[in-house]
Amino acid sequence: MTAMSRTDAAGPMGRAPIRVQRAALVGFKVWHALCTCVGLSGCPFVLPLIEEQENLTPVIVESDPREGAELELTMNDTVVFVVAEDANDIDQVTFLWTIERSGEQGNTTPIVDGPRRGSALRLAPDPRYDGRLLTVRATDSFGASARREWVIRVPEDAR
């Protein structure tokens, strides 16, 4: 099994679709009801299309171990980290670390690197982790996310 990086996005290119604001639709319905009650034959109404900001998916730009490598846990605690960029709202990117069949990992440390944000996880060489998948997901406030995965190896001498 190899490590992989994947981006989960809302549509092509990680961009959310353009939507009409709900308030504009409510305004149209009110205007239309007034025109009908007054008996006007033509009700001119220009519905303003307000483009919402396009959401760009966060991108994991750096990690240790690198993408495609295995994670080997040594006799001492091993630190794994990722750094992400998000053109929309880097301050709102959250990181979730999970180990297959062990669930969410809570011993993380935030990383601030200028306009980039990251997260580090410290892992002990627990023999139960051998062969399991470690996953980190970077998610922005719009729900778009990127993830990186590594297969964990715990050598015999580290157990």
How far is C-alpha 2 from the geometric centre of its chain's CA atoms?
21
Percentage of residues in the chain having pLDDT higher than 70: 66
Q: Are residues 41 and 78 in the same domain?
A: no
Predicted TM-score (pTM) of the model is: 0.67
Q: Please count the other Cβ atoms lying within 10 Å of the Cβ belonging to residue 116.
A: 17
pLDDT score at 13: 46
Mean pLDDT of the chain: 80
What CATH number does residue 103 fall under? 2.60.40.10
Q: Are residues 75 and 35 in the same domain?
A: no
Q: How many domains does the chain have?
A: 2
pLDDT score at 22: 53
Q: Are residues 79 and 104 in the same domain?
A: yes
pLDDT digit string, tens, across residues 49-71:
666 667 889 999 999 999 989 99
Q: Are residues 134 and 73 in the same domain?
A: yes
Q: Are residues 45 and 112 in the same domain?
A: no
Q: Are residues 118 and 95 in the same domain?
A: yes
Q: Which of 31, 70, 33 is nearest to 148 (CA)?
A: 70
CB 117 within 8 A of CB 82: no
Q: Are residues 60 and 46 in the same domain?
A: no
pLDDT digit string, tens, across residues 35-44:
666 666 666 6
Q: Are residues 31 and 109 in the same domain?
A: no
Q: Report the alpha-carbon distance of residue 70 to residue 134 in Å, rounded.
A: 10
Segments forming the whole domain that contains residue 86:
5-13+55-158
Q: Are residues 70 and 98 in the same domain?
A: yes
Q: Are residues 70 and 93 in the same domain?
A: yes
In which residue are the tokens 């900001």 written? 53
pLDDT score at 26: 62
Q: Are residues 28 and 59 in the same domain?
A: no
| Residue segments in the chain with a per-residue pLDDT below the cut of 70 | 1-29, 31-32, 34-53, 90, 158-159
Q: Are residues 130 and 81 in the same domain?
A: yes
